[in-house]
């Protein structure tokens, strides 16, 4: 699903953010990306959704070579990737609904469907009742959940999250983590960047560690106290899935945009 081949990223001035990374994340896997601040986690994530371009090497995401993808195709790549940013990136003058419904609007869904899809996504993160609130009226945790709802609204094939629990209290962190694990259970590939070693050790899963831009370890960890997801699995999943148009493969996905 995500493949890095000898990828390096140099910033202007010659500073190396990433050096010769080669690894592969199969479809449906949950991967923790960890390392100290400045290790290159955020840069690596940005390379996946083409916010940054590698200086060397090739990156293949869902069969598409991101390094050489034509600019006109980048939006279609991004529609298959949900991204949760560390700083949420919510628009303060837009309501929760408006913040979440960017993608349905881009896809040209009618207002009623946009609202239904946004409602489903917000319901998934427990914020359906705050659709008309503005971000500044929400707590940090709620804002984080809105950002997650926006990332999940298209039921993406890949979910990328950059320190999604960094600003949250332990209970809320656990809740958010559980949400990511639930999403992963339904087949979405999840790449979660965090420097929270305790969470990683408790949950387990594959852990890729960066140090000064280099991949220093890539291991499978058994969780000491993994969250129980049974309750989540008992939920009526039909209600949880946003009602976006289905792709030919049957997986909900964006239709072709004729506006490009």
Partner 1 sequence: MNLLQALRYFFREALVNLGRGFRVSVLAILTIAVSLTLGGVFLLASRNLSGAVERWRAETRVVIYLKPDTPPAEVERLAAEARQAAGVRSVQPVSAAAARQRFRDLFPSLSGLVEGLGQEPLPASLEVALAETPGGKALPKDLAAWLDGWRRRPEVSMVDDDREWLRQVETLVAVVRGVGLALGLVLLGAAIFTIASVIRLTAYLHHEEISILRLVGATEFFIRGPFYVEGLLQGVLGAGIAVAGLYGAYHLVHARATASLLAAMLATDFLGGRQIAFVILLGAAAGLLGAVASLRRESL
Residues at the site binding partner 1, with contacts judged by CB under 8 A: 49, 51, 71-72, 75-79, 83, 89, 91, 94, 102-103, 105-108, 150, 254, 257-260
Residue 185 CA to residue 109 CA, distance in Å, equals 27
CB of 13 to partner 1, least distance (A): 20
CB of 170 to partner 1, least distance (A): 29
CB of 226 to partner 1, least distance (A): 31
CB of 159 to partner 1, least distance (A): 13
CB of 190 to partner 1, least distance (A): 18
Q: Which is nearer to partner 1, 107 or 131 (CB)?
A: 107
For 230, residues 6+ apart whose C-beta sits below 8 A from its C-beta are: none
Q: Which is nearer to partner 1, 6 or 105 (CB)?
A: 105
For 236, residues 6+ apart whose C-beta sits below 8 A from its C-beta are: none
For the chain, helix (H) and strand (E) counts, in that order, are 10, 10
Q: Which is nearer to partner 1, 105 or 224 (CB)?
A: 105
141: phi then psi, degrees, rounded to nearest 5: -65, -40
Residue 52 CA to residue 50 CA, distance in Å, equals 5
Q: Which is nearer to partner 1, 37 or 259 (CB)?
A: 259
CB of 175 to partner 1, least distance (A): 24
Sequential DSSP letters for 109-175: --HHHHHHHHHHHHHHTT-GGGTTS-GGGS-HHHHHHHHHHHHHTT--SEEEEESTTTTS-HHHHHH
Residue 147 CA to residue 96 CA, distance in Å, equals 9
Q: Which is nearer to partner 1, 222 or 260 (CB)?
A: 260
Q: Which is nearer to partner 1, 83 or 179 (CB)?
A: 83
Given a contact cutoff of 8 angstroms between Cβ atoms, the answer to whether 54 and 67 are in contact is yes
């Amino acid at each position: 699903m995500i493949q890095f081949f000898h990828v390096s990223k140099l910033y202007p001035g010659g500073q190396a953010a990433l050096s010769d990374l080669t690894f592969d994340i199969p479809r449906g896997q949950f991967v923790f990306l960890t390392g100290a601040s400045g290790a290159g986690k955020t840069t690596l994530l940005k390379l996946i959704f083409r916010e940054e371009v590698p200086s060397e090497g090739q990156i293949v995401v869902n069969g598409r070579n991101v390094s050489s993808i034509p600019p006109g195709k980048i939006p279609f790549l991004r529609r298959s990737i949900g991204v949760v940013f560390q700083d949420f990136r919510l628009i303060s003058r837009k309501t929760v609904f408006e913040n979440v419904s960017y993608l349905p609007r881009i896809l040209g869904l009618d207002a009623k469907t946009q609202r239904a899809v946004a409602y489903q996504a917000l319901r998934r993160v427990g914020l359906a009742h705050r659709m008309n609130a503005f971000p500044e009226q929400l707590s940090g945790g709620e804002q984080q959940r809105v950002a997650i709802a926006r990332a999940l609204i298209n039921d993406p094939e890949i979910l990328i999250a950059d320190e999604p629990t960094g600003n949250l209290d332990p209970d809320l962190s656990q809740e958010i983590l559980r949400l990511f694990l639930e999403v992963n259970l339904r087949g979405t590939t999840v790449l979660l960047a965090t420097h929270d070693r305790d969470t990683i050790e408790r949950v387990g899963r594959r852990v890729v560690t960066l140090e000064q831009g280099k991949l220093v370890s890539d291991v499978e960890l058994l969780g000491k106290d993994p969250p129980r997801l049974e309750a989540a699995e008992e939920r009526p999943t039909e209600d949880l899935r946003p009602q976006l148009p289905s792709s030919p493969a049957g997986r909900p996905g964006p239709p072709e945009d004729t506006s490009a």
